[in-house]
Amino acid sequence: MEKQILRVREKGQITLTKKIRDNLHINENDYVIAEVVNEKIILYKLPNYNKASFDDGIWNLIGSAEDKEGKTDISSNKHKYLGDKQ
């Protein structure tokens, strides 16, 4: 991809052109990582991850052992331990 000139706004903001966004599959509300290397700014798209859910299988694993306080009901009482009002 050819180089593009981007203007820096008053508050330090830049707008990525549609061509750049399309090339990197960057959409609204996505995140990018900015890294300065040898006086250059390098942007990386942060991968999208699925939001954690109370139905995730990890809760079966977490609830299968005893915690430091001797609790073994973490899986079945996950809402209570996470502060969810259910």
Segment 35-52, tens digit of pLDDT: 999 999 999 898 887 777
pLDDT surpassing 70 at residue 72: no
How many structural domains is the chain composed of? 2
What pLDDT is recorded for position 85? 55
Q: What is the mean pLDDT of the chain?
A: 80
Same domain for 80 and 63:
yes
Same domain for 1 and 38:
yes
Residue with tokens 């299968």: 64
What is the residue range of 25's domain? Answer: 1-48
Same domain for 34 and 55:
no
Which helix (H) or strand (E) is 18 found in, with range?
helix 18-24
Least-confidence region, from 35-39, 46-50, 57-61, 79-83: 79-83
Same domain for 44 and 3:
yes
Question: Where are the extended beta strands (E) located within 1-86?
Answer: 32-37, 40-45
pLDDT surpassing 60 at residue 84: no
Same domain for 60 and 42:
no
15: tokens are 């707008």
Task: Over range 20-32, report the average pLDDT.
Answer: 92
C-alpha dist (Å) from residue 13 to 16, 41, 57, 83: 10, 13, 40, 37
Same domain for 85 and 56:
yes
Same domain for 33 and 14:
yes
The candidate with the shortest Cα–Cα distance to 1, out of 17, 15, 20, 18, is 20
